[in-house]
Chain A
């Protein structure tokens, strides 16, 4: 079977619910299926990547640490929405792992190239 291009569109903040963590777990599983997996962090989803976060005071796992594991699962196509960063006063230097920053046109191109988009 030809490898499929699968994009996970992650837009949820890291700690309000367990949504972000569960979505990242699905991405990690996707990584072991030999598909072309990409992740686009957008909206409040960009908070998942902010360096220096610690879930321990909330009794939760640190979401950025889970995101940092993505490359170990062969998920290396990691993208962030430029406008979402800007709106939150963040830039790529605030993030805990290397990602490519995409403008709206580049995001449209990325999404159009997928067989499937898993959004949340």
Chain B
């Protein structure tokens, strides 16, 4: 079955992202596909490349990146939600003349329409609320 996931909570602030990652691993292991994970609301913080977890803790972001590379998952971040939270890719850095960008290259900054496209093109849509 084709799944689309939405992540609404920030890592460390809610269970949302961690549960979504575990769900994604389980779904893929069971033979399902996940073309896109959409990060919205505070979920966009998962895309920040500058988070450095303590050495004895797993990195939530590394989990997403590994999964995306192994299974061809698009990690989509809402542009409106991310810009206002300071989660910015190189393109937006230039557009707004910002001093830095911080979106991990495994994540893609997209419009909200991609959330709808993911819902419409999947068999199951699962929200991981904050």
Enumerate chain A interface residues (CB-CB to B < 8 A): 1, 4, 6, 18-19, 22-23, 25-26, 29-30, 33, 35, 115-120
Contacts and interface: CB of A to CB of B under 8 A. Distances in A.
Interface residues of B, number: 20
A116 B112 CA distance: 16
Interface string B84-120: 1000000000000000000000000001110110011
Contacts of A119: 127, 129
20 contacts: A6-B116, A6-B119, A19-B41, A22-B41, A22-B80, A22-B81, A25-B112, A30-B116, A33-B116, A33-B120, A35-B120, A116-B119, A116-B122, A116-B124, A116-B125, A117-B125, A118-B125, A120-B8, A120-B41, A120-B130
4 nearest A-B pairs in the assembled complex, by CB-CB distance: A116-B125, A29-B112, A116-B119, A33-B116
A35 B129 CA distance: 23
Contact of A120 (B80, B120, B129): B129
Contacts of A4: 119-120
B7 interface: no
Nearest to A37: B116
Contacts of B6: 118
B62 to A, nearest CB: 27
